[in-house]
Amino acid sequence: MEIQNSTHTKADTQNPSMRLNRIFILDTNVLLHDANSLLAFKGVVVGIPFVVLEELDAFKKESAEKGRNAREVIRMLDHLRAKGCLSLGVALENDSAILKVFPNPPKVEFETENQKGYGLKDNLIIQTVRNLVNEGNTVTLVSKDINARVKADALGLDAEDYTKGKVSVESFYKGWSRIALPSLDLKNLSAKKTLSFMEDREVWPNEFFIFESENNPQNYRLFRYLGGTNVKEVDTIKIMHTFEARNIQQLMTLDLLMDDSVKIVTLLGPAGTGKTFLALLVGLYKVATLHQYRKLLVSRPVIALGADVGYLPGELQEKLRYWMQPVYDNIEFIYSQLFQTNESLFGSIEQKKKFKKFDRQQQPQAKPATAEEAHVIERLVQKGMLSLEAITYMRGRSIPYQFVFIDEVQNLTPHEVKTIVSRAGEGTKVVLAGDPYQIDSPFLDFTSNGLTVTTEKLKQESLFGSVFLETSERSELAKLAAEKL
């Protein structure tokens, strides 16, 4: 349905490139994903079906990110009403596009009698697209719902995902590159000489380079580019003489986590690669032993558990115990390993106890946790060195001089990550970790989740570093499952 001259807005007459019969219909999930998606289109008509307004109204009361975005979109639409009637079309910001609200169609033609009411809201949106196409317009349905796109395509309608801010799977930033050299050249390689290999490629601050032998990839040297003409070689890193990297990506991770000049680090990779373990290990070490930060703050999204921790039994701290179990497991494992090597990560908090030195060559015997091991987290919390918090309650805070670790970030939107990172105060370091191949949120994928998008947007900043960890170190069984199942 082409907009008639009598309903033209100011934008129409001042922008001759405006295509009035080119319409993009936005699904509700697009607006909930990005409240500014209305402004992502240029020179076209951006359409919102009436049923989408009804869905926004249902979401506006939520306290989470979807509710915030719903309220922001509703406020934007209310502001646009001052420019004219939304059903006739009003100019968006800088007259870049036209927004129009379309009424619900009186019926859905492609529904059978037995299907009526099934997927009604999606069907109303698709029927709106179909009616506009029948009236001679070129229309595209923009939806993050795969099934809605499939249904539209089955009816011969154009449909696509909302791709603003997406990262290509093929070219996403891993934080490191490999360069093969003859063995003699590798032996004689210096930090200064590595710069010659970076001249013809795009290099980012804190990017790692693995220079390896052409004939033996196990023979390698690792360097980190620091910006300008500065390069450093990365060698073995140990924590308390007990923990060290098991592979080269873990070595990169420890190098970034131990470097306080790198204020934000993203760790990506499949399960079992050590992301959570290494972040917690370094965080505890820097807080409890080195006293470089006041507190280790840990949080995880609750996507898999429902709308909120309120669904879990008990008081808030008891609820967090269920929700934070992977964090508890890792901290207790760190503590048990130190106990068996007669070392203490926590200084005066714990009294050292003598145990037979742990033999890494032998299979350790499983034993029940001691009282000290079982309650280490509670005592760290009581001493103010550890805080386990819900992401929901981080909005509006300022967090200075803390080591902040957010796990499972692949389930957060880019805006949610922005909200969290912007809480960081003076002297705070932020570590974001997750598996971009294992996403529970229905409208996020590898290319659009907050972890990969943040990595892509910050890769050129000197305060940022990233590592993609490839190798599972959890167990042979876990490695087999990750590869074969």
pLDDT in tens, 258-269: 999 999 999 999
Band of pLDDT at residue 348, cut at 50, 70 and 90: very low
**Could you tell me which of 78, 29, 42, 5 has the C-alpha nearest to residue 441?**
29
**Per-residue pLDDT at 344 exceeds 50:** yes
Average pLDDT, the chain: 83
- For residue 22, the model assigns a pLDDT of 94
Q: What is the pLDDT of residue 474?
A: 74
User: Higher-confidence residue: 256 or 442?
Assistant: 256
Residue 418 clears pLDDT 60, i.e. is over it: yes
What was the pLDDT predicted at 358? Answer: 30
pLDDT band per the 50, 70, 90 thresholds, residue 7: very low
| pLDDT value of position 317 | 57
- Rounded to a whole number of angstroms, the distance between the first and last alpha carbons of the chain is 50
pLDDT band at 8 (very low <50, low <70, confident <90, very high): very low
- What are 260-312's pLDDT values in tens digits? 999 999 999 988 899 999 999 999 999 999 999 999 999 988 654 334 445 55
Q: What is the pLDDT of residue 200?
A: 84
Q: Hey, which of 56-65, 224-233, 362-371 has the most confident mean pLDDT? A: 224-233
Measure the CA–CA gap between 216 and 32, rounded to whole angstroms: 50
What pLDDT sits at residue 114?
A: 57
pLDDT of residue 209: 97
pLDDT of residue 360: 35
pLDDT of residue 369: 45
**How much of the chain, in percent, has pLDDT values that exceed 70?**
81
Query: In the predicted model, is pLDDT for residue 478 greater than 90?
Result: no
Cα separation values, 137 from 47, 96, 123, Å: 12, 19, 19
pLDDT top residue among 10 and 124: 124
Counted residue by residue, the chain has a size of 485
Question: Checking phi first, is residue 272 left (phi over 0); if not, alpha (psi -120 to 50) or beta?
Answer: left
- Do residues 140 and 70 lie in contact, with contact meaning Cβ atoms separated by under 8 Å? no
pLDDT of residue 177: 94
Q: Which residues does 331 contact at the CB level (< 8 Å), separation at least 6?
A: 280, 284, 376, 377, 380, 386
d(CA 38, CA 309): 32
Per-residue pLDDT at 53: 96
Residue 315 has pLDDT above 60, yes or no: no
Please check the confidence at residue 365 and state whether its pLDDT lies above 50. Answer: no
Which pLDDT value is given to residue 164? 79
Question: Domains in the chain and their CATH numbers?
Answer: 5-160 (3.40.50.1010), 246-484 (3.40.50.300)
Of residues 436 and 364, more confidence is placed in 436
pTM, rounded to two decimals: 0.75
pLDDT digits (tens, 9 = 90+) for 224-262: 999 999 999 999 999 887 899 999 999 999 999 999 999
| pLDDT band at residue 95 using 50, 70 and 90 as cut-offs | confident
pLDDT single digits (tens) 177-229: 999 999 999 999 999 999 999 888 899 999 999 999 998 988 999 999 999 99
pLDDT score recorded for residue 78: 94
At residue 17, does pLDDT exceed 50? yes
Task: Categorize the per-residue pLDDT at 347 as very low, low, confident or very high, splitting at 50, 70 and 90.
Answer: low
Q: Is the pLDDT of residue 166 over 80?
A: no
